[in-house]
Amino acid sequence: MFDFLRHGVFGYRFPENPVDSIFQLYCVGYEKVTSRDYSWHGLTRQDGPLFLFQYTLSGHGAIDHDGTIRTVPPHHAFMVEIPGDHHYFLPGESSHWEFIFILVRPYHLRSLWDEMIRQTGHILHLPQDSLPIQAICSLYRQASSEQIQDLYQASSLVYHFIMELYRYILLPADPESHWPPSVREAVRYMKTHYHLPVSLEQIASHVGLSKYHFNRLFTRTTGQTPLSHLTQIRLKRAVDLIRYSTCTLEEIAWQVGYTSGSYLSKIFQQHFGLSPREFRHGKGNEQPGR
């Protein structure tokens, strides 16, 4: 998901006057820090008020919150308010800290943010293929390719991320947790490699099963074939890009693992009964797998 992204930080100060319903994106970034100078104190920063969500991809960091120091390892995020009584930093025993983060203004988000903190505390575990992380990855991808053009587009991306995070935290556990380990691993593999030309043989080999045994096990467990599930993942990602980005159909096809925009359009039409162009212009609200 992150292997083809460049590190960077992108800040936003839009000229439009804020509207009551706007969620305000302040900054989004993807960084890898190795210097012991990396250290942020929440009570001394001058850029607040802000909410910060920061997710570890590799290495680990640490955060001192209200006098308790906790590690933030891979697949964990911390959530804090700025200004606030916290200090996050690269600890001495960690060689690096690679993470993706987002800073948003708290306007209109206070009740949602406080409820999420109440449910999980300030540190939470999120699989890298979870929908909130897919959403922040999509947001960062659009920022890094200069596709975020105005306050309203930025607001819709923030809203999408916050809603995925809120849903992940508040809804019951995913039924996938009861699937056999090889099926869960296959789904994880598909969710993190959907942008590549993945074959049934490759997925089966990854989980250590023969193609035929894997196909039977996966279909019996999930009710659909592995390649149908992969198509569902790709289309779900395509729907998000069509709805929330300004990417061309060719660009979207490349990002979701298809060789051309015309082929993506054909698959999209088969599944939803309308073209990607019609969907982008508001003629449908379908979501694969819903």
Instruction: Note the pLDDT tens digit of each residue in 118-142.
Output: 999 999 999 888 889 999 999 999 9
Spell out the domains of the chain, with CATH numbers in brackets: 8-170 (2.60.120.280), 176-280 (1.10.10.60)
Answer yes or no: are the C-beta atoms of 88 and 94 closer than 8 Å.
Answer: no
Residue count (the chain):
290
pLDDT at 286: 46
pTM of the model: 0.64
CA distance 76 to 149: 30
The arithmetic mean of pLDDT across residues 173-194, rounded, is: 86
Backbone φ and ψ for 78, nearest 5 degrees, come out as: -120, 150
The β-bridge partners of 97 are: 33, 59
Query: pLDDT digit string (tens) for 136-163?
Result: 999 999 999 999 988 889 999 999 999 9
The arithmetic mean of pLDDT across residues 78-101, rounded, is: 96
Residue whose entry in the numeric block shows the structure tokens 């592995």: 226
Structural tokens at position 185: 């691993």
The arithmetic mean of pLDDT across residues 245-272, rounded, is: 92
